[in-house]
Structure 1
Amino acid sequence: MTNLQRLLLEVQGINLDQNELAVYLQENELQPFDEYNPSSATAKRNIYKTALSILESIANNVQLMKNYKHDDMTVTDFHENLLNRIDQLERKIRSMKTDEENQQGNVFMLFNS
């Protein structure tokens, strides 16, 4: 599986051109056609950062801030739910470690003689 394919799993239902997705990946230090390494904490974190960038771009679309009524179904609060998802992703990314942080222990020296 490539980084691009992994990103598509994360942003299902969002239709963007493959070139646009590639730019988002490159902005987050991933090459679209490189092999995705699921054991790499940094790669996973960068995929989530890329998904966050995409959601933030969608949230900037003024057309999506409206309420829509289709037949007898009303689509409301789309923008609010989108912002909630963005907040969830930001919290998740902040709590994730990178490969470098995984190799270091959580040792803290309180006293040093």
Structure 2
Amino acid sequence: MINIDRLKMATDGVQIEDANLIIYLEENSLVSTEDYVPTSNINKKQIYKTALGILEDIANSPSTMKNFKSDDISISNFAENLQSRIGQLEKKIRQIPNDDAVIQNDSGSNFTYMFTK
């Protein structure tokens, strides 16, 4: 799987042209045709940051923030749900450690150095 495919998974349901997805990826120092490395926290974090950028751009579009009603179906609170998802994604990004700042101890838990000499 390559980076652009992983980004499409993260933004499932959002219709964006590949050319625009490539720009979003490049803004976060990712190359669309490079392999996605699921074991790399940095790669994962960059994909999530890219997805976050896409959602923030959608949130900045006033036309997507209105309520819709079609026949018997009502789509409301889109802005609230989108902001909630943005908040969840920001939290997830903060919780992913950087590869180079984390060591694993004998019990398997991660420990991040807060202070250096």
Q: Distance in 2 between matches of 1:94 and 1:63?
A: 30
Alignment partner of 1:57 is 2:47: no
Q: Distance in 2 between matches of 1:6 and 1:32?
A: 9
Q: Distance in 2 between matches of 1:60 and 1:77?
A: 15
Alignment partner of 1:88 is 2:88: yes
Alignment of 1:1-113 (within 5 A): 1-103=1-103, 105-106=111-112
- Deviation above 3 Å: which 4+ runs of structure 1? 103-109
- Distance change >3 Å, CA 108–CA 7, structure 1 → 2: closer
Aligned residues: 110
Instruction: Describe the superposition over 1:10-29 as per-residue Cα deviations: whole angstroms up to 9, x where unpaired.
Output: 10010101010001001111
- What is the TM-score of this pair, normalised by structure 2? 0.87
Secondary structure of the equivalent of 1:74? strand
Structure number with higher strand proportion: 2
Identical aligned residues as a percent: 43
Unaligned runs of 5+ in 1: none
- Distance change >3 Å, CA 46–CA 70, structure 1 → 2: same
User: Highest relative contact order (Cα 8 Å, sep 6+), 1 or 2?
Assistant: 1
Q: Shift of the alpha carbon at 1:107?
A: 5.2
- What is the TM-score of this pair, normalised by structure 1? 0.90
User: Does the aligned pair in 1 maintain the 2:101–2:112 contact within 8 Å?
Assistant: no
Report the equivalent of 2:107: none
